[in-house]
Amino acid sequence: MEIMKISVFLDASSEQTELLDRACFGQPIITFQQDQQWFRLCLEEALYMFYFLKCLKINGYDSCAKNEVELWHLMRSKMEMFPELGKAYSHLRMKNWVALVHSEYAVIVLSDTSDDADGRLRVWSDFHCTT
């Protein structure tokens, strides 16, 4: 499994692909090769599976397996809001919620530390307008 930009790609067997799909992790990538399947995970999914489920080993660009600290720093370097989004994703997954892109519900993650210059999404009426 390797990190590319803001996704993690997993070289998966057909059984792994079926399990990941059933558990609503990532997206299968269709290839022309019958014997090789790829699965794309977002960084939050990859961290959850690596840290909480302990079912992944993740390699960086140097093809070396990353430990928890190295992976955290690598993922933070890829996405500024990763700490907040990773925590939100992990919290929801631990509550058996499935985070989907096309969903009837939304979770908006706001950071106490971010300096939001225009003040959007700071009052209830702004939240209501997003639905």
What is the full per-residue pLDDT of the chain (131 aa) written as tens digits?
Answer: 556 567 888 888 878 888 888 888 888 887 777 667 888 898 999 999 999 999 989 887 788 899 999 999 988 998 888 888 888 889 889 988 876 654 566 666 666 665 554 555 566 666 555 54
* Host domain of residue 106: 2-129
- CATH number of the domain bearing residue 44: 3.40.1170.20
Q: What is the pTM of this model?
A: 0.73
DSSP annotation string for 69-120: HHHHHHHHHH-TTHHHHHHHHHHHHHTT----SS-S-------SSS--TT-T
Cα–Cα dist 48/86, whole Å:
8
Whether residue 2 contacts residue 12, with contact meaning beta carbons closer than 8 Å, is answered with: no
Q: How many domains does the chain have?
A: 1
